[in-house]
Amino acid sequence: MSDSLARKTQPQLDESLLVHLPPFSKLETRQIRAILDQATTRRIEEGAAIFDEGAPAERFYLLLDGYVRVVRLSPTGERITALHIPPGQLLGIARALGRTDYPATAVAAAESIVLSWPTRLWDSFVAEYEGFSTETYAVVGQRLEEMSERIMELATQHVEQRVANSLLRLINQTGRKVAGGIEIDFPITRQDLSEMTGTTLHTVSRLLSGWEKQGLVKSQRKRIMVCDAHALVVLSQP
DNA sequence: CCATTAAGTATAC
DNA sequence: GTATACTTAATGG
């Protein structure tokens, strides 16, 4: 049950896991070894929560593989997806925001692997590891920018433009090149897209059906591929 | 223009 | 077979 026991049952983690990731790229092997030796690895299945909004922020995380969506619950129980996190990024960094609890729930959008550390180690990471705090600032700034961008969209753009923008962001951040276009790299439903854009799954379904007929996108259940990104860009402009 | 309701088909477990 | 994903039409704010 204890951390040390949990770690003992894990295979020894390889330094190469971290050495190319921005928060750790300036560190020596010795330091990365120390960081890994304190980490706990966990596999999260699709749809499972990594931590919940409002819970005490006991650990902070690094997403090694998979995708995570950050969701909040409205008072009436509707889910709002704030953003998606790609592999290699930190999450659950409540400490960096001056908080002691998690401001949102993190759900695995696809099967994911995370490393985590107790939050009490946060300050020593910031103090001892060169590049760790600057990368944290960069990530926080990047997410702030994305969220403020989306506030502008919600306030000024029509549903069609918002859904087009969401798709474009998804293929930019998590797109995978496939024959015929760029596919979103994790399972995503109309419901998910509607939660990102503040609309209903029916409206998203109608839009995607229309775009599919025009050859802009191609979709199967839980899979969306963008065939003509430029046409979506045109649509996304008011 | 877009949400809601409703009713239907398709696909996965 | 039943739950889940998706489509489509109709109605109304």
pLDDT for the residue A9: 55
In terms of domains, do A25 and A61 share one? yes
A142: CB within 7 A of chain C nucleic strand: no
| CATH code, A110 | 2.60.120.10
pLDDT at residue number A233:
97
Provide the number of structural domains found in chain A: 2
- pLDDT at A64 (0 to 100): 97
Edge-to-edge order in the sheet of strand A175-178: A175-178, A181-184, A223-226, A217-220
Strand order of the sheet with strand A90-91?
A40-44, A112-118, A59-65, A90-91
Residues 164-203 of A with CB under 7 A from strand C: 189-191, 201-202
Tokens representing residue A168 in the block: 């474009």
Tell me which residue of A204, A95, A190, A97 sits closest to A147, measured CA to CA: A97
Which tokens go with A21? 């990731």
Report the distance from CA of residue A208 to the C1' of nucleotide C7 in Å, as an integer.
11
Residue with smallest Cα–C1' gap to B11 = A221
Residues A78 and A66 in one domain: yes
Last residue of a domain, one of A154, A185, A202: A154
Evaluate whether A43 touches A11 at the Cβ level (below 8 Å): no
- pTM of the entire structure? 0.91
Domain co-membership, A35 together with A69: yes
Residue A153: name the closest of A199, A195, A206, A197 by CA.
A197
How far is Cα A154 from Cα A167, in angstroms, rounded to an integer? 15
Q: Is A88 helix (H, G, I), strand (E, B) or coil?
A: coil
Tell me which residue has tokens 């979506």.
A232
Of the candidates A194, A141, A195, the residue with the CA atom closest to the CA atom of residue A22: A141
Q: Judge whether A60 and A119 are in contact, CB under 8 Å.
A: yes
- Looking at the fold, whether A102 and A38 belong to one and the same domain comes out as yes
The contacts found for A154-160 with CB under 8 angstroms, 24 or more apart, are: A154/A198, A156/A238, A157/A236, A157/A238, A158/A238, A159/A197, A159/A199, A159/A203, A159/A207, A160/A207, A160/A235
Write down which residue in A139, A154, A169 finishes a domain.
A154
Which domain range does residue A119 map to? 3-154
Q: Are residues A120 and A163 in the same domain?
A: no
CATH code, A197: 1.10.10.10
Q: Is the pLDDT of residue A211 over 70?
A: yes
* pLDDT band of A76, cuts 50, 70, 90: confident
The stretch A9-30 carries a mean pLDDT of: 89
pLDDT for A170 beyond 80: yes
The DSSP 8-state label assigned to residue A179 in this structure reads T
Query: Which of A12-26, A89-103, A104-118 is least confident?
Result: A12-26
- Which pLDDT tens digit goes with each residue over A173-203? 999 999 999 999 999 999 999 999 999 999 9
Same domain, A141 and A109: yes
Domain finish residue from A123, A154, A185: A154
pLDDT of residue A82: 95
- Asked whether the beta carbons of A228 and A216 are under 8 A apart, the reply is yes
Report the pLDDT value the prediction gives residue A10, as an integer from 0 to 100.
66
> Is the CB of A174 less than 7 A from some atom of nucleic acid strand B?
no
Residue A2, pLDDT score? 46
Looking at the structure, do residues A216 and A100 belong to the same domain, yes or no? no
A207: which nucleotide lies closest, measuring CA to C1'? Answer: C7
Amino acid at A9: T
Mean residue pLDDT across chain A: 94
Q: Mean pLDDT lowest for which of A7-11, A64-68, A121-125, A183-187?
A: A7-11
Indicate if A140 and A66 belong to the same structural domain: yes
Say whether both A137 and A35 belong to one domain.
Answer: yes
Q: What is the pLDDT of residue A5?
A: 47
pLDDT reading at A208 higher than 90: yes
What pLDDT, on the 0 to 100 scale, is given for residue A238? 79
**One domain, residues A39 and A131:** yes
Is the domain of A95 the same as that of A126? yes
- Is the pLDDT reported for residue A6 higher than 70? no
The answer to whether residues A12 and A60 belong to one domain is yes
